[in-house]
Amino acid sequence: MSELKKEFAQIIANQLNDVLSLEKIEKLIEKPRHSVQGDIAFPCFTLAKTLKKAPQLIASDLSSQISTPLFERVEAQGPYINGFYKREAVSKEIVTAILKQHNAYGSAAIGNGEHITIDLSSPNIAKPFSMGHLRSTVIGNALANLTEKCGYKPVRINHIGDWGTQFGKLIVAYKRWGSEETVKQNPIKELLSLYVKFHKEAESQPALEDEARFWFKKLEDKNEEATALWKWFRDESLQEFSKIYSLLDIEFDTYHGEAFYNDKMENTVALLKEKGLLTQSDGAKVVKLDDSGLPPCLIKKSDGATLYATRDLTAALYRQEIYHFVKSLYVVGHEQSLHFQQIFLVLQKMGYHWAEEMVHIPFGFILKDGKKMSTRKGKVVLLEEVIQEAITLAKKNIELKNPGLPNKEEVAKQIGVGSIIFHDLKNERLNNIEFSLEDMLKFEGETGLYVQYAHARACSILRKAGNVSGMNTGLDDDYSWELVKTLMAFPDVIQKSLRLYEPSQIAKYLINVAQEFNAFYSHIRVLEEDETLASRVSLVNAVTVVLKEGLRLLGIKAPEEM
């Protein structure tokens, strides 16, 4: 919460003499819909019952008793107490604070350095990294940045899908039809075509399925040949994925995937048995969840094989033991909601209170022509191809509009990648997104390019201004004031975004900053030589700080020239 908002809350609290807690007052404070109604408002509806008065009367009584150097005036407007800040003093204070704190502006210490584990991206190896994987990757990365900004230590976990019967199929396909040379040339493409070929051939040769099961059993039994092939497929896949992560500029703290937990699952099963939670059901071992209205959580199949649930329970126990997390976030599509409900509930039944701080963060699909992308039906759009295409389009735009731009390649990459990430994160995460490269790269509207361009334009003004002498004395015109108020909201937006696990809050806020900045420099002659020149240049500088830091939280770069 911004300091000014806290001060206003304290002023109200002083008048109320403990009728309402400071925390409750802070939560009720809002921004008036129209600027003519003031800069900050407190609704009095909540007080009516306690004080046995009409809200309008309460607002009138309280506002008449408030006297503070912070406000030009405080007045009652119906049931609201509305405050009008002293523009020059407040704009000076806000801009000075932003320039002093620089990229630390908006930081909070609420996390106290505690760990939050974040399960994100997590593609299946030996399969292409599609646009469908983008959402978990960029939402998870943005949330990791937000947790860090709020004082936590995020642990970015790429829980890759590197185990299961598909590896038996892949080993059979490779031994029958594959070649080392072809796989090395284009690992993902070749491994996928071998996997597809296996399924096609198995339709007419069902014995292949038995052969695949035989090889997966050998892999589980640590057979040398099977393990060597599995490890090779895994390494080649991770190398390919790392190219995409490098383009997106996203790093992970650990790549512990499903296979990492193979030797740890028996301990989980033993724990469940010890706590009296395991029951037999048609030969399988399950944890019943009837009391919560959920189907049983399957722990072991009748043939003794473990499942996703067994792995995820084991992973949670391991992560708590290693990181002592205060929260554990799983950025996984909404179709896995039941699975996570079951996992969290089983851990709670095991007596682990920390399981109450485990959160599934679901999201919608990326659609192509209104339909979900599907690998099996060939309706998949490869992320790497999309990124390269976006970079190429950005390069063409640069050649057209600013051919003399230094670092053209780097800027084109920042624009192309930024456009893709912003297009995803500007949408509320539960919404489905229609894939459109054309929409992503528009200069106008709600695009990453629009925000990046506002930042570059502000940087250009600062370059032209050079070293301006003079003090930042604050500004009081309408355009400067609307911009200052928008910048002032940044700390609140960061905390709300994390509270809701909703990076779209930041993206929408940045659009707002860019719009207010555009209105400001369209109406105000920023570089005019007069007594407020230093204040205007300081304000533009503050805009670059907030836009750059806001984009960084989303995982996007802010070019200084475009």
Convert the pLDDT of each residue in 469-496 to its tens digit.
Answer: 788 888 999 999 999 999 999 999 999 9
pLDDT score of 351 more than 50: yes
- The pLDDT tens digits of the residues spanning 295-310 come to 999 998 887 777 889 9
- The pLDDT > 90 percentage for the chain reads 72
**Cα(559)–Cα(418) distance, integer angstroms:** 10
- Half-sphere exposure (Cβ direction) of 528: Cα atoms closer than 13 Å: 8
Residue 370's pLDDT band, with cuts at 50, 70 and 90, is confident
CATH 3.30.1360.70 range(s) for the chain read: 3-85
pLDDT score of 194 more than 70: yes
Residue 376: per-residue pLDDT:
47
**Long-range Cβ contact pairs of 385-393 (< 8 A, separation 24 or more):** 386/131, 386/420, 386/437, 387/244, 387/247, 387/248, 387/416, 387/417, 387/420, 389/437, 390/415, 390/416, 390/417, 390/419, 390/420, 390/437, 390/440, 390/441, 391/415, 391/416, 391/417, 392/416, 393/437, 393/441
- Mean pLDDT for 389-414 is 91
CATH 1.10.730.10 range(s) for the chain read: 383-554
- Mean pLDDT for 526-535 is 93
Residue 106's pLDDT band, with cuts at 50, 70 and 90, is very high
Mean pLDDT of the chain: 91
Classify domain 3-85 at the CATH topology level.
Answer: Gyrase A; domain 2 (3.30.1360)
Q: Is residue 91 a contact partner of residue 480, using CB atoms and an 8 Å limit?
A: yes
Residue 482: per-residue pLDDT:
94
- Mean pLDDT for 183-190 is 87
Residue 327: per-residue pLDDT:
98
Structure-token match 């963060």, residue found: 361
Q: CB neighbours of 328 closer than 8 A, spacing ≥ 6?
A: 116, 117, 118, 119, 316, 319, 320, 354, 357, 358, 359
Residue 439: per-residue pLDDT:
77
Q: Domain 383-554 has what CATH class?
A: mainly alpha
pLDDT score of 2 more than 80: no
Least confident span in 92-96, 163-167, 348-352 = 163-167
- The pLDDT tens digits of the residues spanning 239-281 come to 989 999 999 999 999 999 999 999 999 999 999 999 999 999 8
- The pLDDT tens digits of the residues spanning 419-449 come to 999 999 999 999 988 877 777 777 677 899 9
- Mean pLDDT for 342-355 is 97
**Cα(191)–Cα(127) distance, integer angstroms:** 7
| Cα angle 4-8-14, degrees, rounded to a multiple of 5 | 140
Residue 29's pLDDT band, with cuts at 50, 70 and 90, is very high
E strand map for 158-226: none
CA dihedral 29, 31, 37, 42 (to 10 degrees): 0
DSSP 33-44: SSGGG-SEEEE-
DSSP 223-275: -HHHHHHHHHHHHHHHHHHHHHHHHHT---SB---GGGGGGGHHHHHHHHHHT
Tokens of residue 10, six digits: 């304290």
**Cα dihedral 165, 167, 170, 172 sign:** negative
Residue 209's pLDDT band, with cuts at 50, 70 and 90, is very high
> How far from 412 is each of 400, 416, 547, 556, 559, CA to CA, in Å?
12, 6, 19, 13, 10
pTM for the structure as a whole: 0.92
Q: Which of 114-123, 370-379, 381-390 has the highest mean pLDDT?
A: 114-123
Residues in the chain: 562
Is 157 in a helix, a strand, or coil? strand
Residue 497's pLDDT band, with cuts at 50, 70 and 90, is very high
pLDDT score of 52 more than 50: yes
Q: Is residue 119 a contact partner of residue 329, using CB atoms and an 8 Å limit?
A: yes
Structure-token match 């990648």, residue found: 417
Residue 165: per-residue pLDDT:
85
More confident residue, 366 or 448: 448
**Cα(531)–Cα(429) distance, integer angstroms:** 46
Residue ranges of alpha helices (H) inside 44-86 are 47-51, 55-65
CA dihedral 333, 336, 340, 346 (to 10 degrees): -170
Neighbour order of strands in the sheet with 327-330: 153-157, 115-119, 327-330, 358-360
Neighbour order of strands in the sheet with 366-368: 371-372, 366-368, 433-434
